[in-house]
Structure 1
Amino acid sequence: MDRVRWSALLMGWGKEPGPRYAQLAGALRDCIRDGQLRAGDALPAERRLAELLHLSRSTVVTAYDTLAGEGWVTRRQGSGTHVSPTAPRQAALLALRSPVPASTLSGEGQADLLDLTIAVPTLTPAHRVRLEQASAGAFADSAYYPLGLPELRVFLAGLYTREGLPTTPEQVIVTSGAQQAITLIAQTFLGRGDLALLETPTYFGAIDAFRAAGAELRGLRLGPEGVSPDSLHAALPLGPRLVFLTPTFQNPTGTVIPPRMRERLAALVTDAGLPTIEDDTLIDLGFGGTTAPRLSTFAPQGTVINVGSLSKLFWAGLRLGWLRAPTSLLPALVQAKTLADFGSALPSQVIALNLLRDLDTLREERRETVITARDTLVDLLRKHLPEWTFTPPPGGQFLWVQLPTRNATAFTHFAYRFGVRLFPGASMGTGELPDTSLRLPFTLPPEQLPEAVARLRAAWETFRERGPGERLA
């Protein structure tokens, strides 16, 4: 059984009222109806699915029998349970790793759900005032700018140049968030069956974008200093077409690749002519000390494409990101962006430009907020869940937590019943990862963190007491 796939398919499955078997049957029925499971697809063995979801085997058996009685699945001893040939057919969908915002999942009894899967800044009253001030002139233009508002591209090019990466405005393309930038790059440089290299674990949105492009994914293992040049060099003979790296405050581990390793990585991808995404979305969230130069600064006209965003620095609702590409890779990216939408929203771009003109203040304010939340979460976990281990990162917005269990995915489904939504670390791998980790963002308002950890502690204690399978159906 592909634990990662089934965890993604059934994320939030217990949101509806009713007995557990009916909730599970309903979630599987939705997967079939939506096209995520197609006619002939095999469902997991009852015992394996029970282990994943921390249920009794009888609960899964009853759910499968319910679906069989309704004609959604067929069951045959010796060959297992499969989606019925007569089940409704829809266009095939990926089982996305990217979590759906909790607001779309909150059903009866989950109004106070604390979401630890989405990591974005809280929009405070002070933020709203600043947004209103920054909106001056946001509605003055009505032209198409497929590659972005000219003034914003000039500003971003100057920002890269001042930070050691010479850039012209023509090298900057404004996008509707970093996710669109990553997706456009993936669609441009990947075809079906192409090989893509990504850190493992890594950002789930990149996994989704690369899989949607039809690529085969191979993971580059992370060490204490991130991806090593030796691991990348060993994978080059396989003929990869695209690489995804987060050298600074890696998502989810928080590692930072040292300058000496960045220089070697930049040389490797440039010599190979290999397009490489450098995810800069967390680069502004350092907690002190000197941040290493961007990977691309070691080969300014090489093959590294930088991706940035305001989502982690200020507000995800602006949906404002950008990419900076070397001149040699620009033509195909320009075409991809133009075809996608004729240009991102002008009001968001004007607001972003006005905000970025006070970038130093934005950085300082965000760092202060994140450091306070990180320290609060670290103290609470060490006090109330001392079995959980982690290393506080030097920047970013996540703790990469190791649990004393081989079934952390089951715990995430279990914790949902206690009002906490979690993301299993195994779902951030390009292949099999040990199912022992959680990615915990420290982006909830600090006043909510004590309640979140209290719920986690209650869920963990009950999870450990009930052992590998839940005794109550």
Structure 2
Amino acid sequence: MPPTTRSSGRSVTDAPNWATLLAHWRTGPGPLHTRLSAALRACIHAGNLGPGDALPAERTLADLLLVSRSTVVTAVETLEEEGWVTRRQGSGTHVAATAPRRAEVLTLRSPVPHPRSNAADRGALSASTVPAELDLTIAVPSLTEPQRQQLQAASADAFWDSLYYPLGLPELRARLAAQYTQSGLPTTPEQIIITNGAQQAISVIAQVFLRRGDVALLETPTYFGAIDVFRAAGATLLGVPVSPDGMQAEAFADALRSGSPRLAFLTPTFQNPTGTVLSAQTRERLAQQIMDTGLPTIEDDTLIDLGFIRPGGGTDRLPPRLSAYVPESSVINVGSLSKLYWAGLRVGWMRAPRPLLAQLAQAKTLADFGSSLPAQAIALNLLADLPGLRQARRAAVTPARDLLVRLLREHLPDWSFTVPAGGQFLWIELPTPHVTAFTLFAQSYGLRLFPGASMGVEPLPDTFLRIPFTLPTEHLPEAVRRLAQAWQAYRARGGAARLA
């Protein structure tokens, strides 16, 4: 793989993209070809596919959807007769120029939303009840009953203030600044901006520094939320491959020279999704390169507190943050409580160097006049015991990781992965070049899976799965049982089943 690769637009070979577009195509009425033509028609009508966009080759689409080629041919012929697509031998099938022209809708590289049970249903389920569908796409911790009680206690004084604080509750900004300073990154309260989760922080930063056509530099694979934000901003994405030791400083330097990026996004600690941790030496070199170029760079801190407990107790000592080497350079740290505690709280933040503060503060103020005060007050009370939050989270996630590792090695020994020292998922390589097709196949076994190729800045080999260990531990054995059952059936069909 070359050190840097520019991403292109929608590709007919982008299997994860098409899997997202057609994730629920089987749920409609009628025979399979009718359901498929309806799903493709809906994509065109909604603006997910625009005039001139190419459809995959019939055999490629059949392999992805696990149907016969005749099913795809019949579906496409129906669309051609209705005027939605044009077909020419040698040039393939394209959305017709006369198809409805709608505003383009971004095909998000994130798990497809699906209905959730209501509160009454959740209350009726015991902790040991395994859902009919196990969701292995969402990597956020479940809220426990002790945490619910803790949240109630932390919200006791959350409703006394009615002022706007566009940049965040002053007490919360001061507490976060003190925590950054204590960890080795000198920070004042004025350098902290509170956001609605880390995702809003990334969006605000992209709004400030990216214009359509600019180059954004990211690791590949990387967090799909950042990919989506930068694509929506109209940026050209430039990927730097992540090796087993993390991103290499030499490859980053090459990308700086060849791409002239305007913004970078890096996760030095427990990289999402590979779990790698950059060495102190690599961080120092990257920090120097960033300082020399003045490149605005997002350092994603959202997983930094999720180091695992070692067998003898304690956790591995982490290198300093990237920004700690250049505190007043152009590195913007982004963090949140979503991974450490609960995603529903929607409290995140950024720590910005002073030269960039004015632009970021203006963009955040224009976005919403300030984040929820009750949520910030709750976060302030929770963070009073940050060591306790870390300890509780590590105590929950470490045995879950160990259990998932043991079960996978026992039931799926041909799946390959490195056990990470932190984070919340395994980055697993499967002995097939069609993992995306397997994720669709596994839906019939009550599994929602996320193909690792969806986390690539440019097309990645379709050989990886990202599987979190954030499910309740009592559900993990059933999840692996279904994975093994689905994998056995998938391989027995030659890895490209024909279901119609």
Residue 11 of structure 1, CA deviation: 3.2
Report 1:152-167 matches (<5 A).
152-167=172-187
Further displaced range: 64-73 or 441-450: 64-73
Mapped contact 1:12–1:416 kept (Cα < 8 A): no
Mapped contact 1:51–1:468 kept (Cα < 8 A): no
| Match of residue 233, structure 2, among 213, 231, 250 | 213
- 1:260: which partner in 2? 281
Deviations 1:408-434 (A, max 9, x none): 111111111211011111111110211
| Match of residue 26, structure 2, among 7, 11, 14 | 14
- 2:304: which partner in 1? 283
Q: Secondary structure at the match of 1:417?
A: helix
Mapped contact 1:12–1:413 kept (Cα < 8 A): no
Residue 51 of structure 1, CA deviation: 1.9
- 1:346: which partner in 2? 373
- 1:103: which partner in 2? 115
CA distance in 1, matches of 2:64, 2:283: 39
Report 1:13-92 matches (<5 A).
13-16=25-28, 19-92=31-104
CA distance in 2, matches of 1:435, 1:184: 31
Residue 48 of structure 1, CA deviation: 1.2
Residue 468 of structure 1, CA deviation: 4.4
CA distance in 2, matches of 1:412, 1:315: 27
- 2:403: which partner in 1? 376
Alignment of 1:230 onto 2:250: yes
CA distance in 1, matches of 2:164, 2:433: 52
Question: Which AA in structure 2 matches 1:2?
Answer: T
| Match of residue 464, structure 1, among 491, 495, 500 | 491
Question: Which AA in structure 2 matches 1:352?
Answer: A
The RMSD of aligned alpha carbons is 1.9
Residue 227 of structure 1, CA deviation: 1.0
CA distance in 1, matches of 2:200, 2:24: 25
Unaligned 5+ runs, structure 2: 1-11, 119-129, 309-314
Question: Which AA in structure 2 matches 1:268?
Answer: Q
Report 1:56-455 matches (<5 A).
56-103=68-115, 112-238=132-258, 239-287=260-308, 288-455=315-482
CA distance in 1, matches of 2:285, 2:91: 51
Mapped contact 2:220–2:239 kept (Cα < 8 A): yes
Question: Which AA in structure 2 matches 1:47?
Answer: R
Unaligned 5+ runs, structure 1: none
Distance 1:292 1:17, change over 3 A: farther
Q: Secondary structure at the match of 1:399?
A: strand
Mapped contact 2:66–2:498 kept (Cα < 8 A): no
- Number of positions where the alignment pairs a residue of Structure 1 with one of Structure 2: 470
Question: Which AA in structure 1 matches 2:13?
Answer: D
Deviations 1:362-398 (A, max 9, x none): 1111111111111111111111111101011000001
Mapped contact 2:154–2:381 kept (Cα < 8 A): yes
Percent identity over the alignment?
64
Question: Which AA in structure 1 matches 2:135?
Answer: D
CA distance in 1, matches of 2:46, 2:166: 33
CA distance in 2, matches of 1:103, 1:37: 24
CA distance in 1, matches of 2:274, 2:29: 36
CA distance in 2, matches of 1:285, 1:229: 24
CA distance in 2, matches of 1:156, 1:296: 15
Residue 101 of structure 1, CA deviation: 3.3
